[in-house]
């Protein structure tokens, strides 16, 4: 048996959702153990754009959580040695219907501090941009390189917050206060399960009941284009996917036009996110294919459509230098938070927004659970 002191917290999953819970628990003085079956980070959290998207998130609580999460990223990035690669967002409206969505968005509380750009202003920020009807520049968003940021975050949690990691350990069965794992039993008063889209292996009935499926995305890295992309870029197709725009009444006309003009892209859930890393290379995506068990194969036709969208927005595409797919848990809600046994809470982000919202979600979840418990005898800053 792996005995951990009674007051300790166990987090299962070392993706961004698990690490965010570890941080929130450690900040409340708890000693935290993180268990992950993989030897190193390999899930959605290192396959993503690292785009901490505030602008365009669903209005209300999700948008507020994204704002709070971006604050936490900014706060911990320096101490954890994580480089913020880009700050802000440039949303490019190619069609008049998209410009109308952009204007409607700017009129909401979410448009605060965002700036409307004329086509000339867009080109002054981003000379590569093709013809646009209007642009929006937001200061709220940021981007990290997830494949290095997630390991750096874990290393900082260990060094600064005393979080210990048990990697290569698989959780097989959960009971109140107890985990049956591949290398024995672990105990703690409080357990947060953050298994991402693999949670269905532990809780198949709950996943079925909540309608949680998987979403597969195709991603590309393009060689450095020889110019700087000042901000992450999104475009018209993004405005019918991201609920902060898509739920506005003005999005209806854009939706109809895109269905008529880009029906194939819409069917594949394609929209454009283009971000740039320190070496100048661009990460470009993505597509959305929903299935309980998506196939593992990247479709060349889908990649070609993503590249066509890139070229329509940013001009000739540099060579593709890397391709990968990733999956995340998907349902109609932002996230599922359930008590699955006494002292055991399951947390799954089901909207493909973990990098953008997990820190604030974890603050809420951990605060609710731990603040109602007695304080531990032994605390840690
Ligand atoms: C291609 C792609 C692009 C994306 N782009 C963005 C983006 O730009 N911005 C954004 O906000 N979001 C983005 N997302 C979504 C975001 O990446 C996810 O919402 C987030 O990473 C989910 O984090 P997680 O910790 O739940 O899952 P994961 O990162 O998958 O981590 C779950 C961990 O749990 C472990 N685990 C599971 N079961 C067990 C078990 N039984 N025992 C032990 N360990 C277990 C796994 O090994 C894994 O390490 C993207 C996702 C993908 C796939």
Query: pLDDT tens across 49-101, in order?
Result: 999 999 999 999 999 999 999 999 999 999 999 999 999 999 999 999 999 99
Locus of tokens 């603040």: 371
Beta strands 184-187 and 164-167, pairing class = unpaired
On the 0-12 / 13-18 / 19+ scale of CB atoms within 10 A, 121 is: middle
Structure confidence at residue 6 (pLDDT) = 47
Average pLDDT, the chain: 95
Beta bridge partners of 86: 143
Given pLDDT bands bounded at 50, 70 and 90, which one contains residue 372? confident
CA distance 290 to 294: 7
Tell me the per-residue pLDDT of 129-173, one tens digit each, with 9 for 90 and over.
998 999 999 999 999 999 999 999 999 999 999 999 999 999 999
Ligand 1 atom closest to 19 (CA): 25
Structure confidence at residue 253 (pLDDT) = 98
CA distance 336 to 328: 13
Picking from 278, 173, 274, the residue whose alpha carbon sits closest to that of residue 219 is: 274
Ligand 1 atom closest to 357 (CA): 11
CA distance 257 to 238: 14
pTM of the model: 0.96
Tell me the per-residue pLDDT of 21-45, one tens digit each, with 9 for 90 and over.
999 999 999 999 999 999 999 999 9
CATH of residue 54: 3.50.50.60
Tokens (6 digits) for 108? 């909401």
Helix axis angle for 146-161 and 61-80, nearest 10°, is 70
88: Cβ below 6 Å to ligand 1?
A: no
Boundaries of domain holding 85: 2-370
CA distance 12 to 179: 10
CA distance 307 to 315: 10
Given pLDDT bands bounded at 50, 70 and 90, which one contains residue 1? low
User: Is 210 domain-assigned?
Assistant: yes
CA 351 to chain centre: 8
Structure confidence at residue 66 (pLDDT) = 98
Ligand 1 centroid – CA 298 distance (Å): 19
User: Is 377 domain-assigned?
Assistant: no
Tell me the per-residue pLDDT of 280-306, one tens digit each, with 9 for 90 and over.
999 999 999 999 999 999 999 999 999
273: helix, strand or coil: strand
Pocket probe mutation, ligand 1, options 2, 12, 19, 45, max atoms within 8 Å of Cβ = 45
User: Is 375 domain-assigned?
Assistant: no
Given pLDDT bands bounded at 50, 70 and 90, which one contains residue 308? very high
Beta bridge partners of 376: none
Tell me the per-residue pLDDT of 334-356, one tens digit each, with 9 for 90 and over.
999 999 999 999 999 999 999 99
User: Is 163 domain-assigned?
Assistant: yes
User: Is 302 domain-assigned?
Assistant: yes
Pocket probe mutation, ligand 1, options 89, 217, 303, 352, max atoms within 8 Å of Cβ = 352
Helices (H), the chain: 16-27, 44-47, 61-80, 96-106, 119-125, 146-161, 199-202, 204-209, 236-239, 243-246, 251-261, 263-267, 300-314, 354-370
195: Cβ below 6 Å to ligand 1?
A: yes
Structure confidence at residue 143 (pLDDT) = 98
Number of domains in the chain: 1
326: Cβ below 6 Å to ligand 1?
A: yes
355: Cβ below 6 Å to ligand 1?
A: yes
Structure confidence at residue 355 (pLDDT) = 98
User: Is 243 domain-assigned?
Assistant: yes
Given pLDDT bands bounded at 50, 70 and 90, which one contains residue 2? low
305: Cβ below 6 Å to ligand 1?
A: no
Mean pLDDT of 172-176: 97
User: Is 112 domain-assigned?
Assistant: yes
Pocket probe mutation, ligand 1, options 44, 172, 276, max atoms within 8 Å of Cβ = 44
Tell me the per-residue pLDDT of 94-131, one tens digit each, with 9 for 90 and over.
999 999 999 999 999 999 999 999 999 999 999 999 98
User: Is 313 domain-assigned?
Assistant: yes
């Amino acid at each position: 048996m792996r005995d951990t002191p009674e007051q300790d917290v166990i987090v299962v999953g070392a993706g961004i959702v698990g690490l965010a819970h570890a941080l929130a628990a450690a900040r409340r003085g708890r000693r935290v153990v993180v268990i992950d079956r993989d030897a190193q980070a390999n899930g959605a959290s290192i396959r993503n754009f690292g785009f901490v998207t505030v602008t365009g998130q669903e209005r209300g609580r999700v948008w507020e959580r994204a704002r709070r999460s971006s604050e936490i990223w900014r706060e911990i990035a320096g101490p954890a040695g994580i480089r913020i690669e880009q700050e802000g967002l440039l949303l490019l409206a190619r069609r008049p219907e998209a410009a109308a969505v952009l204007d409607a968005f700017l009129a909401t509380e979410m448009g605060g501090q965002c700036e409307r750009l004329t086509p000339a202003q867009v080109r002054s920020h981003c000379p590569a941009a093709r013809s646009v009807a209007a642009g929006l520049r937001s200061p709220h968003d940021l981007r990290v390189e997830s494949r290095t940021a997630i390991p750096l975050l874990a290393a900082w949690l260990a060094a600064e917050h005393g979080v210990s990691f048990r990697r290569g350990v698989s959780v097989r069965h959960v009971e109140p206060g107890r985990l049956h794992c591949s290398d024995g039993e672990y105990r703690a008063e409080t357990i947060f399960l953050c298994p991402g889209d693999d949670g269905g292996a532990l809780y198949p009935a709950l996943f079925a009941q909540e309608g949680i499926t998987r979403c597969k995305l195709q991603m590309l890295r393009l060689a450095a284009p020889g110019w700087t992309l000042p901000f992450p870029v999104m475009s018209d197709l993004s405005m019918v996917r991201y609920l902060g725009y898509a739920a506005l009444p003005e999005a209806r006309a854009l939706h109809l036009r895109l269905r008529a003009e880009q029906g194939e892209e819409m069917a594949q859930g394609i929209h454009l996110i283009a971000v740039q890393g320190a070496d100048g290379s661009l990460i470009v995506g993505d597509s959305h294919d929903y299935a309980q068990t998506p196939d593992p194969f990247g479709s060349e036709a889908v990649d070609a459509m993503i590249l066509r969208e890139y070229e329509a927005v940013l001009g000739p595409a540099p060579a593709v230098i890397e391709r990968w797919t990733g999956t995340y848990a998907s349902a109609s809600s932002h996230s599922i938070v359930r008590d699955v046994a006494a002292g055991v809470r399951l947390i799954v982000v089901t909207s493909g927004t973990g990098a953008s919202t997990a820190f604030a979600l974890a603050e809420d979840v951990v605060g609710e659970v731990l603040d109602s418990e007695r304080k531990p005898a032994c605390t840690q800053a």
